Structure 1
Amino acid sequence: MQEQFEQWQKLLSEHPDMDTIVKLALLLLGAWIANFVVKKILMRGVLTVISYTPAGHDKQLFERNIIARLANVVPALVITYGVSSVPNLPEEVVVVVNNVCTAFIILTIGRAISGVLTVVNTVYERQPDAHEKPIKGYIQVVKIAIYAVATILVVAALIDKSPVILLSGLGAMAAVLMLVFQDTLLSLVASVQITSNDIIRVGDWVEMPNLSVDGDVIDIALHTVKVQNWDKTISTIPTKRFISDPFKNWRGMQESGGRRVKRSLMLDQNSVHFLSDDEREKLNRFRLLKDYLASKQKEIDEWNQKLKDEGKEPVNTRRISNIGTFRAYVRAYLQSHPRVHQEMTLMVRQLNPTADGLPLEIYCFTATTEWVEYEGIQSDIFDHLISILPEFGLRVFQHPSGVDMREMVTQIKQNRHIDT
C-alpha cells in the first residue's frame, strides 16, 4: 500500500497538471461531503429537535429556510481554506475564488439575518396588541440597512479592497443617494410619525375621498399602506400620503361604543297646525306623551291666564302644535329605545325650512358600532316615525309623481262631471 502511494505521488510529481486536477477534485469532493453532512445530517437533526418544541409545528416560522441558508456557508468555507492548498494554481485564480467565496458567505449571512427579521415580525404580529404598534416598517428599514452593508462588503470582497475605501467614496455620492432613496426616506419619516403618533393601525376604518379610499387598513409597510375597501377591492396608498393628505379615521367611533344617526324627516309644512281638543285627547292615549301633554298644558294655561281679557282671542294665546308634540314624542321614543345610546348626545330639532319641506332632524347614537346592526336600528327608528306621522296629522313631503298627477286629473274630471 505504501509503495502504491509512493508511486502515485511520484506520478503526480512528474505530471503537475494531473496533480492540480486531482487535488482540485478532492477539494470539490470535500466541499460536497461537507454540504451533505451539514444539510442531510446536522440540519435534519436540528430540525428534528425543533419539531418537538411548540414552534416546530409552525410552518410559517420556518418557511424562510434560515437554517438551510446558513448551511451553505460550510462548503464555501471549505473551498476558501482549501483552494490555497491546491498546487500549481495561478495566484489570481486563488484570489478570485477566495473573493467569490467570501462574497457568497456575506450574501448568505445577510439573507439569513433578513429571514430572522421576517420571523421576528411574524411572531410580533401574533400579539393581541400588535396592530396598535406595527413594526413592519422598522423591520424593512433594518433589512435595507443590512442589504446596504452586505452590498458594500460583497463589492469590497469581489474587488479585493477595503470596505473603508468604498465608504469614503459614498460621501461624494450622498446627493445622488438622496435622490435615489428620496421616497424611501420620506416613507421612513412618515412611518415613524404614524407609529409614534398612533395615527393609523391595522384594522382601522379610514376614508380618503380624494383617493376614493374607504375601508379597513389591512397592512402597514414602509412604503405603502393597504386598505381593503367596502367593495372588497384593495387600494395601495403611499405611506407618506397619510401625513401630507387629509383623511378620516373612524377608530374613535369604533372605540366609543356608539355610532351617530343624523337624518331628517322632511315634513309637509301645510300639515302643521295647532291641536284641537279632540286631537289632544286622542294623543293622550300615547304612553310616551302623557307627561309631556300634561306639563305642557299646565305651562300654557298659566301663560294664558296672565293675558286676562286679551286671552279671550285665540290668536293671542299659546296652544299646543302637532309638530311640537311630534318632536316631543320622537325624543321620548329615542330615550326609551333599548338600542339607542343614552350616554351620548340625543337631540330632535328643526332645521331651516326648504322648498322640499320642513326638516326635522334626529340626532342620536346607536348602542353598537357594527355596521349591519347600526343600519338596522336606524331603519327601524325611521320606519316607526314615518308610519306614526298620520296620528299627529302630519305628512311627509315628497315631489308629485306620475301617480299623483293622474289622481289629480281624475279628481278634476269627477268634479266637472258632478257640476254638470
Structure 2
Amino acid sequence: MKVFDLVEPLLKKLDLGQNFVLYGNLLVNLIVLAIIAYAIDYLAKKVLIIGLAIVATYTKSTFDDFLVANKTAKYIAHLVPLYYISKKIPIVLDDFVYWENLFGKSVKIFIIVLSLFIVRSIFNSLKDYLKTQPKYNDKPIDSYIQVIMIVLWIYALVSIILLLFDTKKGVLLTTFGSISALIILVFRDTILGFVASIQVTVNDMVRIGDWITVDKFGADGEVEEINLATVKVRNFDNTTSTIPTYSLISDSFRNWRGMINSDGRRIKRHILIKGATVRFINNDELESFKRIQNIASYIDRRKADIDKYNIANNIDKSLNVNGRNLTNLGLFRKYIQRYIESHPGINKDMQFMVRHLQPTEKGIPLEIYCFSKDKKWENYEYIMADIFDHVIASIPYFDLELFEVQHVKADKLNLLDIE
C-alpha cells in the first residue's frame, strides 16, 4: 500500500464525518509530502555537492571549480524533490481537482525558473573559466552571456504564460505583436545595449583591458567589464566610471590600443622662442658654436655649402641679410634633432623631427615630434621631461630666449585716511 493511502482508512474508522476524513487526509498527506521532499532535497544536495567537490579536487581543469563556486550542484539538487512533488501531487490532491491543477502548474513554474538558474550558474562558470584563458580574457563574454540569458528568460516567460492561461502560442504571439511598441519602449536601453554589444564585438572597437578616453562621461582608464547595458572603466586615479554601451557607437571616444600595440608612444610638444632673439650668425661666431659637439660637423658642412653658393652667385656679404646664412635658431633646431637622434629613450625606427609651427604673439613654437621606446605612462613622462629639461637648459647657449609671461608687479595702494 502506498504511503499516501494509509491515512484515509484510519480516519474513516474514527467516524468523524466525510469532510473531516477528506481534509484531515489532505493535511496529513501534505505534511508527509513536505517531509519526504525535504529529505530528498537534503540527500540530493549532500550527494551532488560533495560529489562535485571531490571531482573538482582531483581534476586538472578549473572549470569544475567554478561550477562549485557558482553553486551549480545545489541548484540541480533542488530539481530532484520538485520532480518528486510533481509526480505525487495528482495522488495527494486526487479529490481536489482545482488545487491539483493550481499546485501542478506552480511546481512546473518552479521547475522552469530553477532550470534557468542552473543554466545561468553554468554560463557564469563558463564565463569565469574563459576569463582565465589568455585567448578570451579581452573578449566581452558578459555581453554574450547576457544576450543568451535574455533569450532564455523570454522563452521561459512565454512558457509560463502558456502554462498559466492554457494559451496557444499563436494567440500569444499575436498579443505580443499588438503591444510591441510598449515592449520596445520599456526595453529600449536593453535593445540599444544589445545592438551596441554586437557592433562593438564585430567591429572590434573595444576589448577588456583597452585604455579608453570618453570625455563626455569623464572616463579615462582601462576597460574592466563590458556587458549588455554598461561598460565599466577603471580610471587612472582608481575611480570607476560607468558608460552606457550604446554610447560607444553613438558618441566619439579614444582608444589607446593602437598606441600600446605600436613600437612607441608619441611625444608631440613645443617650446616658445622669443622672435626678437632670432638672428644671423657671423663667421667670427662660428668657432664658438663649433665647440658644441653635436653640431660641429654640421656647421662645417653647412658653412661650405653656403660659401659655395654665395661665391657662385657673387653675393655681397657686407650685409648678413644677403644670400644664404646660418641662424642661431637654425643651429638650435639642428642641435635638438641631433640630441633626439642620440637619446636612448627614443625609437629611431619611427618618425622624428623638429619643426617650426606658425608664429604667434607669444613667440615662435619649436615642436619636437618623436616616439619613446617605453610606452608605460610614468616612464614615458620621464623620457619626455628629460628631453625638455635639456632643451630648455640649452637655449641660452644659442643666444636665444624662452618666451615667458611677464607678470607686472602692482604697486601697493596707499590707503587714504577717511576723516
User: Is the shorter-chain TM-score for this pair beyond 0.5, marking a shared fold?
Assistant: yes
- Shift in Å at residue 239 of structure 1? 0.9
DSSP 3-state at the match of 2:294: coil
- Shift in Å at residue 376 of structure 1? 0.6
Task: Name which of 36, 43, 51 aligns with 2:42.
Answer: 36
| One-letter identity of the residue aligned with 1:217 | V
Correspondence list, 1:278-317, <5 A? 278-308=284-314, 310-311=316-317, 313-317=319-323
Structure 1, residues 374-409: CA drift from partner, whole Å, max 9, x if none?
111111111101111111111112122458x99xxx
Could you list the runs of 5+ residues in structure 1 that have no partner in the other structure? 407-420
- Distance change (3 Å), C-alpha of 1:314 and 1:267: closer
CA distance in 2, matches of 1:173, 1:344: 59
Could you list the runs of 5+ residues in structure 2 that have no partner in the other structure? 15-20, 412-419
**Partner residue of 2:238?**
232
Structure 1, residues 107-135: CA drift from partner, whole Å, max 9, x if none?
10011111111111111222213244322
**Partner residue of 1:50?**
56
Task: Name which of 100, 124, 128 aligns with 1:122.
Answer: 128
Which stretch of the first structure deviates more once superposed, 335-344 or 225-234?
225-234
| One-letter identity of the residue aligned with 2:108 | T
Task: Name which of 358, 361, 364 aligns with 2:367.
Answer: 361
- Shift in Å at residue 30 of structure 1? 2.2
CA distance in 2, matches of 1:256, 1:7: 80
Structure 1, residues 202-251: CA drift from partner, whole Å, max 9, x if none?
12222222332222211111111112222322111111111111111111
Q: Is the 8 A contact 2:93 2:100 kept in 1?
A: no
- Distance change (3 Å), C-alpha of 1:375 and 1:56: closer
Structure 1, residues 326-374: CA drift from partner, whole Å, max 9, x if none?
1111111111111111122211111222221121111111112111111
- Distance change (3 Å), C-alpha of 1:76 and 1:61: closer
| One-letter identity of the residue aligned with 2:354 | V
Q: Is the 8 A contact 1:30 1:78 kept in 2?
A: no
**Partner residue of 1:374?**
380
Which stretch of the first structure deviates more once superposed, 160-169 or 264-273?
160-169
**Partner residue of 1:11?**
10
Q: Is the 8 A contact 2:274 2:402 kept in 1?
A: yes
DSSP 3-state at the match of 1:352: coil
- Shift in Å at residue 252 of structure 1? 1.0
Provide TM-score, normalisation by structure 2.
Answer: 0.88
Structure 1, residues 245-273: CA drift from partner, whole Å, max 9, x if none?
11111111111121111111211222222
| One-letter identity of the residue aligned with 2:278 | V
Task: Name which of 91, 108, 115 aligns with 1:102.
Answer: 108
- Distance change (3 Å), C-alpha of 1:163 and 1:31: farther
- Distance change (3 Å), C-alpha of 1:153 and 1:303: same
- Shift in Å at residue 79 of structure 1? 1.5
CA distance in 2, matches of 1:113, 1:177: 25
Correspondence list, 1:154-165, <5 A? 154-162=160-168, 165=171
DSSP 3-state at the match of 2:354: strand
**Partner residue of 1:194?**
200
Task: Name which of 266, 271, 279 aligns with 1:265.
Answer: 271
**Partner residue of 1:413?**
none
How many pairs does the alignment contain? 401
DSSP 3-state at the match of 1:379: helix
Correspondence list, 1:53-132, <5 A? 53-55=59-61, 60-86=66-92, 89-132=95-138
- Shift in Å at residue 137 of structure 1? 1.0
**Structure 2 residue 329 is matched with structure 1 residue 347:** no
**Partner residue of 2:139?**
133
| One-letter identity of the residue aligned with 1:14 | K
CA distance in 2, matches of 1:353, 1:57: 64
| One-letter identity of the residue aligned with 2:36 | G
**Partner residue of 1:331?**
337
Q: Is the 8 A contact 2:200 2:206 kept in 1?
A: yes
Tell me how large the CA RMSD over aligned residues is.
2.6
Which stretch of the first structure deviates more once superposed, 268-277 or 256-265?
268-277
Q: Is the 8 A contact 1:20 1:88 kept in 2?
A: no
- Distance change (3 Å), C-alpha of 1:102 and 1:163: farther
Task: Name which of 387, 398, 411 aligns with 1:392.
Answer: 398
- Distance change (3 Å), C-alpha of 1:158 and 1:364: same
DSSP 3-state at the match of 1:216: strand
- Identity within the alignment, %: 35
| One-letter identity of the residue aligned with 2:244 | P
CA distance in 1, matches of 2:318, 2:351: 41
DSSP 3-state at the match of 1:105: helix
- Shift in Å at residue 42 of structure 1? 4.3
Structure 1, residues 179-221: CA drift from partner, whole Å, max 9, x if none?
2222212211111111111111112222222332222211111
CA distance in 1, matches of 2:62, 2:387: 54
Which stretch of the first structure deviates more once superposed, 56-65 or 264-273?
56-65
Q: Is the 8 A contact 1:350 1:360 kept in 2?
A: yes
Task: Name which of 172, 176, 180 aligns with 1:174.
Answer: 180
The runs of at least 4 aligned residues of structure 1 exceeding 6 Å deviation read 6-9
Structure 1, residues 306-339: CA drift from partner, whole Å, max 9, x if none?
2337345544242221111111111111111111
| One-letter identity of the residue aligned with 2:231 | V
DSSP 3-state at the match of 2:179: helix
